[in-house]
Amino acid sequence: MRISHALQQARAQGVARLDAQLLLAHLLQRDRSWLLAHDDAVLAEDQANAWQTLLARRAAGEPLAYLVGQREFRGLMLQVSAAVLVPRPETELLVDWALELLPQAPLPQAIDLGTGSGAVALALKAAAPQLAVTATDLSAAALAVARANAARHGLDITWLEGDWWAAAIGRRFGLALSNPPYIAAGDPHLAALRHEPQAALTPGGDGLDALRALVEGAPGHLLPGAWLLLEHGHDQQAAVQALLRAAGFGPPETRTDLAGLPRCTGAPWPGG
C-alpha cells in the first residue's frame, strides 16, 4: 500500500485530510512534509495493518490525540490517554486570565482543581516559574498522566489526590482555577465524546454539581483578595455568577472564548 492510497482510504471513510496525515505521520514516525514529498512510498505489511486499525478507530470517533498519544496546549506538548480529557483550546482562556491576575494575587500560590492531564497547572507554571502550583484530581490514573507531563517538561508541581477541595485540607491559596465537568446528563453532545472519561465531562443532573462544590468549598481555601476562576458551559454563565454571589464572593466577571461564547467566570474573595 502506498501513502497516497492510505490517505485515499481515510478520505473514503470520512476521516479529515489533516487528521489522516497526522495519524499516518505518527505511525511512520515522519512529519507531514515528508508524507507530501513521498506519497508514492510503500508501507510495510505491519505498517499497513496498523494503519487499518488506527483508521478504523479514528473513523469511529476516537480522538486523534488518543491515537497519537499527545496534544499541544499553550505551547506544551502533553501526553494524553483515555484516562484524561483531551485539552481544548478554549481552556487556554482560563490560563490567560489567571496570568493576568498574578500581579495582584495575595500569595504566589495557585491551585488547579481537577487537573486531568495537568494542562492548566503546567501551562501556568511554564509561564510563571515563580508561582507555586498545586494540582488535584480524584483519579490516580489522571495524576499519573499529569506527573509524566511534568517530568517531560521539567516543571515542579505539587500533586494531590482527592475530590476537589478535600485534597487540600488546611491550605489556602492566592488563586484557584478549575475546568470541572459541567455538561448536563442527557446532553446530546455527550454521544460525540463517548471515548473520553465521562466523569470528567459530566457530574450528572443539571451539570452544575461540580461547580457548586468548587464555589461552596472555596471560602475555606482562599486568602482575602484571591480569585476563583471557573470554566463552564456556554449557557451556564448566569448560574455560575449566581453561585458566586450566594457564596459571598465579590462582583463576578465572565470572559468569552474565541467563538464569542461565555466560557469562564470568576470572582474575588472579599477582604483583599
Tell me how far apart the alpha carbons of residues 115 and 142 are, in angstroms, rounded to a whole number.
8
Rounded distance, CA 179 to CA 163, Å? 14
Opening angle at CA 85, ends 102 and 232, nearest 5: 55
Q: Domain 72-268: which topology? A: Rossmann fold (3.40.50)
β-sheet with 222-231: strand ranges across: 158-161, 132-137, 109-113, 173-178, 222-231, 262-268, 253-256
Whether the CB-CB separation of 150 and 119 falls below 8 Å is answered with: no
Contact 134, 109 (CB under 8 A): yes
Full-model pTM: 0.91
pLDDT in the model for residue 205: 87
The three three-digit cell numbers of residue 73, written as one number: 496546549
CA distance 123 to 95: 7
Question: Residue 212 belongs to what H/E stretch?
Answer: helix 209-217
* Contact between residue 2 and residue 40 where contact means Cβ atoms under 8 Å apart: yes
Number of H helices, E strands in the chain: 11, 9
Phi, psi of 248 (to 5 degrees): 95, 10
Coil, helix or strand for 9? helix
> 3-60 has which CATH code?
1.10.8.10
Predicted pLDDT of residue 272? 56
Take residue 232 and report the three cell numbers written for it.
463552564
**Residue 120 pLDDT:** 97
The residues of the chain that CATH labels 1.10.8.10 are 3-60
Closest CA to 167 of 114, 104, 99: 114
pLDDT at 204: 83
Tens-binned pLDDT, residue by residue, of the chain (272 aa): 888 999 998 999 989 999 999 999 999 998 888 888 888 888 888 999 999 999 999 998 899 999 999 999 999 999 999 999 999 999 999 999 999 999 988 889 999 999 999 999 999 999 999 999 999 999 999 999 999 999 999 999 999 999 999 999 999 999 999 999 988 888 888 888 888 888 888 888 888 999 999 999 999 999 999 999 999 999 999 999 999 999 999 999 999 998 899 999 999 999 75
Domain with CATH 3.40.50.150 in the chain: 72-268
Joined together, the cell numbers standing for residue 137 give 484530581
Q: What's the grid cell of residue 95?
A: 490560563
Nearest to 23 by CA among 2, 42, 51: 51
Instruction: Give the model's pLDDT for residue 246.
Output: 96
Beta carbons of 258 and 244 less than 8 angstroms apart: no
Q: Which three cell numbers stand for residue 167?
A: 485534597
